[in-house]
């Protein structure tokens, strides 16, 4: 088997940088969305006002033309009201008297009249748009109808042009505003970024500083016990000190591990290894603790030789198995599965799932991957394991989710390999 060539890794971002970029994007979307909605409302109001004004102009012209007496319409006096509309007088005998032909033929006028008689009041003919209105009257002593035909093609084109200009203006505004908002957010949110970086540095530095005194306390306890200078009545206090020292040591170790995985300098070491074998070995290490509590561990594992970071995967698997064993009720079954999706494609994805009995309240689910968040007050953990699993998963370009329903909780890890 050929040794895979090392891939060029992108510059890794620290957890603080990732969170800062998320805040930038949220700020940009919020500002752009609010401003766009306000501008859109103004421009839409302007377009509606123009549309209503155009409709009012058309109906006003038709009403003026129809309100004129027939004698005045058929007279030789020119009228602005007549010149805006073409007028047809149609008798019941089918005879048409046309006033002001403009550019339409007699056959086209007759077609428009037939269309209007069928109830249609707006029609497109020869690429032009017409609005038709009518009224009943008498002509030469016979019942007739007067039809006023208004060509509003030019008004329609003006409205369409205005709408296009508004859309282009709005699109340009959104792009420019989005860019400016993103650039501006860098300045506005810089204090938050500095605060996040200081917070992460504080945790890392505090962890390093605490290691020395904890180690000294633990060493002193060992010396006292070795010399046998502890009285029986003080033994319980020494035991308590020892227990809390070990607990503090575990906390510091987890904090330092979390800080190291979240650091921007931490780059995944990509190499080929058997992921299925790694899952099996981790499950074997937890079988003893499962046996003590009467729990069973069921493994469904596909053959999975992948290129990824073995150390990161080992930590993710260990955290999720430890979490399942710790919170699964006695006598219940823990299910572990590993599968490879899209094997025939270049973008393969490993899917690792750990399920156990016990349901997490819905209100807790959004927060379980946060630091120091513990489900239930009786939890003996520090609330850092799942936060670490999330950080490592994101470091590898994947995603971890939790589903808790029907009395079962499942943690699903999907990572490209």
Say if residue 408 is exposed, middle or buried (CB neighbours under 10 Å; 0-12, 13-18, 19+).
Answer: middle
Cα-Cα-Cα-Cα torsion 354, 275, 285, 371, nearest 10 degrees, comes to -50
Question: CA–CA separation, 87 vs 97, rounded Å?
Answer: 8
Strand 96-99 and strand 122-125: pairing? unpaired
Write down the pLDDT at residue 2: 46
- Quote the CA–CA distance of 34 and 19 in Å, as a whole number: 23
Where residue 407 falls (left for φ over 0; alpha for ψ -120 to 50; beta otherwise) is left
pLDDT of residue 412: 92
Distance CA 290, CA 325 (A): 7
Strands annotated E in 22-174 = 85-91, 96-99, 122-125, 128-139, 142-151
Characterize 215-229 residue by residue with b for buried, 16 or more Cβ atoms within 10 angstroms of its Cβ, and e for exposed: eebbeebeeeeeeee
**In this structure, what is the dihedral angle of CA atoms 67, 73, 76, 81, given to the nearest 10 degrees?**
50
CA distance 57 to 82: 14
For the chain, the distance separating the N- and C-terminal CA atoms, rounded to the nearest angstrom, is 17
Of how many residues is the chain composed?
A: 417
Residues contacting 330, CB < 8 A, separation 6+ = 293, 294, 295
Domains of the chain: 13-188 (no CATH), 191-262 (1.10.287.130), 271-416 (3.30.565.10)
- Residue 4 is predicted with a pLDDT of 46
Q: CB neighbours (10 Å) of residue 18? A: 16
CA distance 316 to 312: 6
Give the per-residue pLDDT at 329.
84
The pLDDT tens digits along the chain (417 residues) read 444 444 444 455 555 666 677 778 888 888 888 888 888 888 888 889 888 888 888 888 888 878 877 766 666 555 444 556 777 777 766 666 666 656 677 777 778 888 887 777 888 887 888 888 888 877 777 787 888 888 888 888 888 888 898 889 888 888 898 888 888 887 777 776 676 666 666 666 666 667 778 778 778 777 777 777 677 777 778 788 887 887 777 777 777 777 666 665 567 788 999 998 999 988 888 888 888 888 888 888 888 888 898 888 998 998 899 888 888 888 888 899 998 887 666 778 899 999 988 878 888 888 888 777 777 655 566 677 888 888 888 888 889 998 888 888 899 999 988
* Residue 332: count of CB within 10 angstroms of its CB: 17
| CA gap 307, 275 in Å, rounded | 9
State which H helix or E strand residue 291 sits in: helix 275-292
Question: What pLDDT is stored for residue 204 in this prediction?
Answer: 65
Q: Cα(65)–Cα(341) distance, rounded to whole angstroms? A: 73
Whole-number pLDDT of residue 326: 84
Round to whole Å and give the CA distance between 258 and 130.
Answer: 73
Reference 335, options 292, 383, 277, 295; nearest CA is 295
């Amino acid at each position: 088997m050929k040794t895979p060539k090392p891939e060029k890794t992108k510059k890794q971002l620290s957890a603080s940088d990732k969170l800062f970029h998320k805040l930038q994007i949220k700020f940009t979307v919020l500002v752009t969305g609010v401003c766009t909605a306000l501008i859109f409302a103004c421009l839409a109001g302007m377009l509606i006002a123009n549309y209503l004004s155009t409709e009012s102009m058309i109906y006003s012209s038709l009403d003026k033309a129809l309100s004129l007496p027939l004698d005045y319409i058929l007279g030789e006096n020119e009228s602005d009201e007549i010149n805006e509309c073409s007028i047809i007088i149609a008798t019941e005998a089918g005879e048409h008297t046309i006033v002001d032909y403009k550019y339409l033929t007699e056959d086209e006028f007759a077609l428009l009249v037939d269309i209007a008689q069928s109830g249609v009041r707006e029609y497109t003919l020869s690429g032009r748009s017409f609005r038709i209105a009518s009224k009943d009257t008498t002509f030469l002593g016979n019942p007739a109808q007067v039809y006023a035909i208004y060509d509003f093609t030019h008004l329609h084109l003006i409205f369409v042009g205005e709408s296009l200009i508004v859309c282009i203006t709005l699109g340009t505004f959104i792009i420019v505003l989005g860019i400016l908002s993103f650039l501006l957010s860098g300045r506005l949110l810089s204090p938050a970024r500095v605060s996040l970086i200081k917070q992460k540095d504080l945790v890392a530095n505090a962890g390093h500083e605490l290691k020395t005194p904890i180690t000294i306390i633990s060493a002193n306890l060992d010396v006292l016990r070795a010399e046998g200078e502890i009285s029986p009545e003080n033994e319980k206090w020494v035991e308590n000190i020892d227990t809390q020292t070990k607990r503090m040591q575990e906390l510091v170790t987890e904090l330092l591990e979390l800080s190291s995985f979240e650091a921007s300098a931490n780059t995944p070491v990509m190499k080929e290894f058997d992921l299925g074998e790694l899952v099996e070995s981790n499950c074997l290490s937890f079988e003893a603790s499962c046996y003590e509590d009467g729990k069973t561990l069921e493994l469904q594992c596909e053959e999975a030789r992948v290129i990824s970071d073995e150390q990161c995967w080992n930590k993710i698997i260990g955290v999720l198995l430890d979490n399942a064993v710790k919170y699964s009720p006695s006598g219940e079954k823990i299910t572990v599965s590993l599968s490879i999706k899209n094997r025939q494609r270049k973008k393969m994805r490993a899917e690792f799932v750990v399920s156990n009995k016990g349901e997490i309240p819905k209100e807790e689910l959004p927060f379980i991957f946060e630091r120091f968040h513990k489900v239930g007050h009786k939890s003996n953990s520090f609330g850092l394991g799942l936060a670490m699993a999330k950080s490592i998963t994101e470091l590898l370009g994947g995603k971890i989710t939790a589903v808790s329903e029907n009395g079962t909780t499942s943690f699903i890890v999907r990572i490209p390999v």
